[in-house]
Every structure is written in structure tokens, then in C-alpha cells.
Amino acid sequence: MTRWVTVADLERCVGCQTCTAACRHANATSPAVQWRKVLDIEAGTYPEVSRTFVPVGCQHCADPPCMHVCPSSATRRRADGIVTIDYDICIGCAYCDVACPYQARFKIDAPRFAYGTTATRNEIEREDPGRLGVAQKCTFCSDRVDFGLANDLTPGVDPRATPACVNACIADALHFGDLDDPDSNVSRLLREQRHFRMHEEVGTQPGFYYVYAKADAPTPPVSDPAEEPVSAAPGLRTKGVEPWHQQHWDWKAAGNFICGGAGSGLFAFAAMASMQPDAPLALGWAALAIIALGLFLVLLKIGRPWRSLHVFRQPQRSWMAREAWIAAIFFPLAALAAWLESPAMMIPAATVGLGFLFSQAMILKEARGIPAWRTPRIVPLILITGLAEGSGLFLAVSALLPSLSQMVQMTAASAVTLAALRACAWRSYLGDLTKGGAPTRSLAVLDALRPWFFVLGLAVPSMLIAVAFLAPAVQTPLFFFAAIGIFAAGVALKLVVVTRAGYNQGFALAHTPVRGCGIAGPQVKPGWSRPRTR
């Protein structure tokens, strides 16, 4: 077997960015895109200063989250470990972008040129429209590797068979080779040197190793993430290293989570109400329209809307494809149930609708590049929030429609119960994030939401509903405004979680390199809160 990997020697890299330039040249990438780049971390104060340069890019993981989430099967992993993207299949949903913990993926929708609006002749000749609106990333120069193998050359040894960045390295810091061959250049290096892989804790098993000290060097201090002052190290200059906000999932993506939750929740309540005589079945149609609106918003967001049917291609792995399949079952079933006004069909349809809601929760959980989304506690939070939003909408309608007046008190009681459960799920979600450690800016955004969420989403609605039970004469407006509060808090929650708290993983080093003599330095993980242990 073959496993192609790259090894970056942190003791040798001088941060010249020649690899970056060589990659740009070899792959004709846009100025908005850097498949290979080099981070610059400076520590200490003058004159005791150290700098560490860290080449980053696609890590060609053995367990790549980008591939697992890809709904279209565009992202695949070859038997030799190279993770590939088929530009002709990709729909440009950018799910892989938020699933990658290494910020290795890019998507641009329009050509960009190095010097303003005018393209150079070289740029005109090499512009590839097939790469617009789809995901792109480092390919490990698979074309060069394949050329080499076809011509009996050894990748990593013969430059014609080796990635451009490795060829270009002036400091012999980048190496490429076969990890499964014990005699290969990279296997030998990894035997002779201490090394780590980035973000091991995420479990992606990258094919990218960082060498930081000789194997016989003194043992570096053990980095305990709870002990090391990783974020507040004095004089640490880490521009571009700490987490930044994900770029691709905007309010339209949040809109799908909002509409999907509110719609499937509302449909569940409409199904229960359908067992009552003369219940307004138009509610079922309204719920369907809300869900459809959410999916339509997504269609506006993706890079290649005309290929959107490719979303169905990969249900065996991707929760986004599963979401599409469940929607494809739910819509006809629910429409038929609403059309026939049949309670016996509304209930199974509502169950499928809850499956849709569950798939949305799983979509966020599987986005392993965003720490505030990937926690398992997001699943109950999204599920309960969807039901609470649905109950809010249903209560608002029940308060206004005489035909539902018999149910309104029961609806109010269940809405307030769901709001309380949602507050518990939110608390447990935030507690889990704080305990496990998260990007500090994600935590700041969520902390700022916390009081509003409590007041608007639970305290005020509970009070209004309590008063309404005591004073039935004014219950209509009280129930209505309580319902709006419960609904709006759910909307705000998802909008903030998706579009404001979605900071990515950033970059981190398990050790800083020796650089000459001495021992390797501690862990560097800027922009993260410390996990709270015990």
C-alpha cells in the first residue's frame, strides 16, 4: 500500500513563502486562494525573540471530515491517501469548508486578479471557470504524482513527480513521500525526528507531519492544555493563526435551519391538532411552505445551483444528502396528508418531519471545523429549539383562531415547557463548550446572547402565559406575545450560532521547534479558551 504524506520541518522552515508562490504558479490559483501558505508565529520580547514558521494546507486526512459531509460525492479519498475534489460534481454548498479543521478549503464565485480588475495575460490564459463556485484545495499535486508513477519516477525524490511546494522549498523543510514504505525519505525523517500532527484531538489522522526536534533531543516539557497559558503567552504575535469566522454559511444558511426547525415543529403541532374536529389544516400547508422557503434560501447560497440535484448522491455518508432525501419523502407525504385532511397520515408525515429536523441538527454536529457546532450537545439544542419554534408559531395561531380555542391553554402549557427544556439544552450546550475549551470569540458571542435568550425566550413568555392563565379575559394578546417571544428567541439563537459564533478551529502547534540547540517549546494554541478540567 501507499500513503502519500508531507513532512514539514519546523526547525528548518524560514518562512520565505516560496512554497506559496510555487503552488500559486503550478496550480494557477486565484489571489483570493492559498492552497499552501506559511504561518508566522512570533514569541517573546526584544531582544529575546523567537519566530516559528508553519506551512499549512490540506492535511490529506485518513479520516477526512470534508469527505464525510460532502453530499455530492465530489470529495473523495484515493487509495493512496490523496483527498480529491471533482469540480464537475461539486455543488458549492461549502459544507466541506466548515467541516475542515485546517481551514484548507476555499470557494470563490468570481475571478480575482493579482492587480485589481485587469487580468495579466498569464491570468487570462490560465483562468479555469470550472473552479468557480466550487470547493478547491491542495491536491498534493496529484497530477505530478501520477505522472511520476506512470513514468517510473519516485514521488518525493524525482522533482518531476513531486508537489511543487516541496520542489520549491529553499531550506529543505518540506518533504513528500510514501509513509507505508519504511525506507522512504519521509519514513526515515519521522524515525529520526520528534514530530506531531496538527489538531490530533479532532481525530482526523492527517497525512501531514510537523518535525520539531531530533529524536535524541532532551524531552520537551509536556503540554497540559489546562496548565499552559496558551492564549496569553507574553509577546505572542499570531496574526492569521487564531480562529476566524467561517466565510460561507451566511444568513441564508441560518435561514434553512430556522425555517426547517420552525416548519417541522409547526407541522408536528398541526398533526396533533388535526385529530380535533374542524382543525384548520391550512396549518400543515403553512408548515410545508416555511420548510420550502428554507431550502430555497439554500439554493440561493450554493455556488452551483443548477447542479443542486447532486445533493442526493451521497446519503451513505453525508447528513446534508440525508436531509435532502428526508425532505424528498416528507414533502409528498405531508402534502398528501394535508390534502386528504387525514389525521392518520398527518402523524407519520410529522414523524418524517422530525427526522428532517434531526438531520439538520446532525449537519451542524458533523461540521467538525467549527468548535461551536461540532459538540454533540448541539443536537438536543437544535431539536428542542425546532419544536419550541413550532410551538410558538402554533400558539400564536391558536390564540387568534376561534377554531383552535379549545386547545389554546394546552398549547400554551406545552410551549412554555418546550421553552424551559430549550433553556436547559442551551445551558448544557454552553457548559459543554466552556468546559471543553472553545475559540474565545465564539464564547464571547454566545455569552452576549445568553441574557437576551433567557429573557425573551423563557422569562417573559412564562410570565405572560402565567398571567394569561390567571386572567382569561386578556389571554389572547398575552398568549400571542408569549408565542412570538418563544419563536423569536429560537430564530435569534440559530442566527447567532450559525452566522456569529461560527469561528473555525484556527491553527495550533503541539510543540514549538528547537531551532538550534536547547529543548522544544510548549504548545501554542492562540485564540482558544482553556478547557476546564475537573
Partner 1 sequence: MNCGAADRLGIRDGDLVEVRSPLNHTKGRVMLCEGIRPDTLLMIGQFDHWVTPFAKDLAAPSMNALMPMLLELTDATGSSADLVKVNVTKIGGAP
CB of 99 to partner 1, least distance (A): 33
Quick one: cell of 473? 379575559
Site string for partner 1, 77-116 (x = CB under 8 A): -------------------------------------xxx
Q: Which of residues 282-311 bind partner 1 (CB under 8 A)?
A: none
Report the alpha-carbon distance of residue 317 to residue 339 in Å, rounded.
34
Answer for which of 42, 86, 228, 250 binds partner 1 (CB under 8 A) is: 42
Options 44-52, 91-99, 143-151, 410-418: segment touching partner 1 (CB under 8 A):
44-52
Nearer to partner 1, 229 or 472 (CB): 229
Q: Which is nearer to partner 1, 86 or 123 (CB)?
A: 123
Mapped onto helix, strand or coil, the DSSP state of residue 103 is coil
Cell of 103: 481551514
Distance of closest approach, residue 217 Cβ to partner 1, in angstroms? 24
Given a contact cutoff of 8 angstroms between Cβ atoms, the answer to whether 318 and 68 are in contact is: yes
The residue count of the chain comes to 534
User: Helix, strand, or coil here: 81?
Assistant: coil
Whole-number Cα distances in Å, 229 to 43, 177, 247, 522: 13, 36, 29, 9
Q: Which residues contact 182 (CB under 8 A, 6 or more apart)?
A: none
Q: How far is the CB of 45 from partner 1 (least distance, A)?
A: 5
| Between 28 and 153, CB nearer to partner 1 | 28
48 vs 216, beta carbon nearer partner 1? 48
Interacting residues with partner 1 between 408 and 447 (CB under 8 A): none
Q: Quick one: which segment of 18-26, 45-53, 289-297, 425-433 binds partner 1 (CB under 8 A)?
A: 45-53
| In the complex, minimum distance from the CB of residue 47 to partner 1, in angstroms, rounded to a whole number | 8
Closest CA to 391 of 254, 486, 277: 486
The count of chain residues that interact with partner 1, using the rule CB under 8 A, is: 13
Nearer to partner 1, 45 or 316 (CB): 45
Query: Site for partner 1 (CB under 8 A): which residue of 12, 51, 76, 435?
Result: 51
Cβ 244 to partner 1 shortest distance, Å? 17
Burial of 13-47, coded b for 16+ CB within 10 Å and e otherwise, reads: bebebbbbebbbebbebbeebbbbbbbbbebeeee
Give the number of C-alpha atoms closer than 13 A to the C-alpha of residue 307, restricted to the C-beta side. Answer: 20
Between 44 and 159, CB nearer to partner 1: 44
Candidate segments 42-50, 87-95, 148-156, 265-273, binder of partner 1 by CB under 8 A: 42-50
What φ, ψ does residue 77 adopt, rounded to 5°?
A: -125, 125
Binding segment (CB under 8 A) for partner 1, from list 39-47, 95-103, 330-338, 474-482: 39-47
**CA 406-410-413 angle, 5° bins:** 150
Q: Which of 45, 182, 219, 232 lies at the binding interface for partner 1 (CB under 8 A)? A: 45
Nearest-approach distance from CB 248 to partner 1, in angstroms = 25
Point out which span in 37-45, 224-232, 424-432, 465-473 binds partner 1 (CB under 8 A). Answer: 37-45
C-alpha closest to that of 164 among 39, 35, 61: 35
In the bound state with partner 1, the residue whose beta carbon lies nearer, of 42 and 86, is 42
Residue in the block written with cell 402534502: 335
Burial of 176 (0-12, 13-18, 19+ CB in 10 A): buried
Record the cell numbers describing residue 64, joined without a space: 477526512
Min. distance of Cβ 31 from partner 1 in angstroms? 12
Q: What is the contact mask toward partner 1 in residues 235 to 254, using x (rule: CB under 8 A)?
A: x-x-----------------
Nearer to partner 1, 238 or 499 (CB): 238
Stretch that binds partner 1, among 38-46, 87-95, 338-346, 387-395 (CB under 8 A): 38-46
Beta carbons of 197 and 206 less than 8 angstroms apart: yes
Q: Among residues 28, 39, 44, 146, which is the contact residue for partner 1, using CB under 8 A?
A: 44
Q: Is the peptide bond before 280 cis (omega within 30 degrees of 0)?
A: no
Q: Binding marks (x or -) toward partner 1, 199..238, rule CB under 8 A? A: ------------------------------------x-x-
Q: Is 178 left (phi over 0), alpha (psi -120 to 50) or beta?
A: beta
C-alpha cell at 351: 414523524
Q: How far is the CB of 21 from partner 1 (least distance, A)?
A: 15
Residues 88, 89, 93, 95, CA torsion sign: negative
Position 170 contacts partner 1 (CB under 8 A): no
Q: Is 120 in the site for partner 1 (CB under 8 A)?
A: yes
CB of 239 to partner 1, least distance (A): 9
Among 1, 79, 110, 118, binds partner 1 (CB under 8 A): 118
User: Minimum CB separation from partner 1 for residue 41, in Å?
Assistant: 11
Task: In whole angstroms, give the CA distance from residue 36 to residue 57.
Answer: 5
Nearest-angstrom CA–CA distance, 476 and 468 = 8
135: Cβ–Cβ under 8 A, 6 or more apart, which residues? 66, 74, 75, 85, 90, 92, 94, 96, 97, 105, 106, 107
Reference 23, options 217, 162, 127; nearest CA is: 162
Grid cell 518562512 is found at 15
Is there binding between residue 49 and partner 1 (CB under 8 A)?
yes
* Closer residue to partner 1 in complex, CB, 16/456: 16
User: For strand 208-214 and strand 4-9, is the pairing parallel, antiparallel, or unpaired?
Assistant: parallel
Give yes or no for residue 46 binding partner 1 (CB under 8 A): yes
Tell me if 31 contacts partner 1 by CB under 8 A: no
Establish if 191 lies at the interface with partner 1 (CB under 8 A): no
From CA 381, how far away is CA 378, in angstroms rounded? 5
Helices (H) and strands (E) in the chain, counts: 17, 8
117 is a site residue for partner 1 (CB under 8 A): no
Residues of this chain that interact with partner 1 (CB under 8 A) are: 42, 44-46, 49, 51, 114-116, 118, 120, 235, 237
